[in-house]
Structure 1
Amino acid sequence: MTENYSKVRQRAEVAFGKTQSQFFERQRAIEDLNSIVIAREEKTQRLREARLAKELQDSVASATKPVSKRAKSL
């Protein structure tokens, strides 16, 4: 059954549809930005952990490395 709405009602329905689509488009854009931010934070955390592990490994390696003769004479 098709309903015949008045022109005012039809315009209101179109305006509401546009508002709804703008709202959903804005929400999708916000979700996209949030996912980018989360991915960047995760990558930063992984890189930080890798850097700290390398620094720890380097400090352990330098502590166990034998002292050269030249360094002893100073």
Structure 2
Amino acid sequence: MTESHSKSRQTADIAFGKAKSQFDARERVFAEIDSMVGAREEKTLRLREARLAKELQDQLAASASSVAKKNKKS
């Protein structure tokens, strides 16, 4: 059975469909932005951890060379 709707109902259905498709497109864009923000934050954290590890390694190497120089003088 096919249902026949009034002209105003058909117009309303079309308008709702357009609004829903715009809403869906907006949601996809926000999901993509959230994904990019999350990836950037993860990368920033990874780089920060690598920088801190390198700084610590450099400090330990400097301390070790300082201790070695003191022991040579003694």
TM range, smaller chain: 0.7 to 0.9
Could you give the per-residue CA deviations for residues 3-27 of structure 1, whole angstroms, max 9, x where no partner exists?
A: 1111111111000000011111111
Look up the match of 2:25: 25
Gaps of 5+ in 1: none
Matched-pair identity in %: 58
* Residue identity opposite 1:13 in structure 2: D
Gaps of 5+ in 2: none
Q: TM-score, normalization: structure 2?
A: 0.87
Name the structure where helix makes up a greater proportion of residues. 2
Q: TM-score, normalization: structure 1?
A: 0.87
* Residue identity opposite 2:46 in structure 1: R
Residue aligned with 2:5, SS: coil
Separation of aligned partners in 1, 2:46 and 2:69: 34
Residue aligned with 1:48, SS: helix
Between the two proteins, the alignment pairs up a number of residues equal to 69
Separation of aligned partners in 2, 1:67 and 1:12: 85
